[in-house]
Amino acid sequence: MIETEVLVLGAGPAGVSCALECLDNKLDVLVLEKERQPGGQLNQIPSAIRNLATGSYDDGASLAGSMTEAARSVLAERLLTDCAVSSVDLKNKTVESNRGQISYRAFLIATGYRVRRLGIDCPDYICEHVLYRSGIYKDLLKKKSVVVVGGGDSALLTALDLEAICSSVYLIHRSSTFRARPDLVQAVEEHPRIAVHKNSSIRSFRGEAALTGVLISKDGEEFEIPCSKVVVKIGYAPNTELFAGQINMDERDHIVCDRLGATSIAGVFCAGDIVSGGVDRIAWAMGSGTASAFGIRKYLGHKF
Ligand SMILES: Cc1cc2nc3c(=O)[nH]c(=O)nc-3n(C[C@H](O)[C@H](O)[C@H](O)COP(=O)(O)OP(=O)(O)OC[C@H]3O[C@@H](n4cnc5c(N)ncnc54)[C@H](O)[C@@H]3O)c2cc1C
């Protein structure tokens, strides 16, 4: 069994910031990351990042690149990538990973968000036409009839963006109002070539060998929309299932903690997107990760 003083789960901005602060304070720290590279969601940001006081970045990959460099050079063998944790026992202070069991004295949960899936079963030949990103698949979407699902900024921006290249664009939203910015709502609702269906949801997919349409349920009625691609933009979900039933969470499955990240379990801390009452921003992730290292030092009996 591997033993460490501090175990950090997730090498996004929150986990890496906590680990670097811990190491600066001479704590024995180990970071586990299931992906091949650190950076978390930064690796999925296609557009410029302009809200950081350290400067702007052309895209998330360039910021993830400099974070990876810092993490790999400073943490070195204390950063284990390709290392997925499959179960956690907060009471006994152990985790099960694909590198075996690991025990810790203090634990930071920094597992971030993942893209929320539609949750409709479909065979592979249909699923391959249900996309969760549109930017990188733009060539595939050209001249196609496309259904966009969602009601936030991302869904409306996608509908507006695709309208220029697709033969037709339908926007399906389960509620009667959009969550998106008012300017985007106005642009979509007034757009002559975007068909908006509120109070609507996809019940099933149609097609024998490939996607040919979706069955929509709207106000108790059902009808079919012909399409060859669906782009789903229904937000993000916190990666907190591993801790369900073991720790206090809010109604949105975010972990409740104090300002230094201490949770309802002694020695267990959290930071970043998964913090209840936090904000899903890089600066918050970094700041709360750093703050949690102070919480961890305090818990381990180190003086400030
Ligand atoms: C498209 C997009 C655009 C964005 N644009 C901006 C922006 O312009 N400005 C801004 O401030 N913020 C932006 N954000 C938000 C920002 O990226 C996040 O708030 C930030 O990355 C959160 O950091 P985190 O460390 O909490 O989580 P994450 O970045 O999600 O990192 C969590 C890490 O934990 C790992 N992990 C999860 N579960 C396990 C497990 N069981 N075992 C091992 N590892 C695991 C994941 O692989 C991941 O690497 C954007 C996000 C997206 C998706």
Around ligand 1, the residues with Cβ closer than 6 Å are: 9-15, 32-35, 40-42, 44-45, 49, 51, 84-85, 110-113, 239, 272-273, 280-283, 285
Q: How far is the CA of 113 from the centre of ligand 1 (A)?
A: 6
Q: Flag whether pLDDT at 137 surpasses 80.
A: no
CATH 3.30.420.10 fits 124-232, yes or no: no
- Where along the chain do its domains lie? 2-115+236-299, 124-232
How much of the chain, in percent, has pLDDT values that exceed 90? 92
Q: Whole-angstrom Cα distance, residue 101 to residue 103?
A: 7
Q: Flag whether pLDDT at 47 surpasses 90.
A: no
Structure tokens at 214: 């979706």
How far apart are the two ends of the chain, measured CA to CA in Å? 31
pLDDT digits (tens, 9 = 90+) for 144-203: 999 999 999 999 999 999 999 999 999 999 999 999 999 999 999 999 999 999 999 999
pLDDT digits (tens, 9 = 90+) for 81-118: 999 999 999 999 999 999 999 999 999 999 999 999 99
Q: How far is the CA of 38 from the centre of ligand 1 (A)?
A: 10
pLDDT at 302: 83
Of the CA atoms within 13 Å of residue 69, those in its CB half-sphere come to 5
- Assign domain 2-115+236-299 to its CATH architecture: 3-Layer(bba) Sandwich (3.50)
Range list of β-strands (E), 160-273? 168-172, 194-197, 200-206, 213-218, 221-226, 229-232, 236-238, 268-270
pLDDT at 140: 87
Under 8 Å between Cβ of 199 and 219: yes
Averaged pLDDT of the chain: 95
Same fold, 2-115+236-299 and 124-232: yes
Residue 304's pLDDT band (boundaries 50, 70, 90)?
low
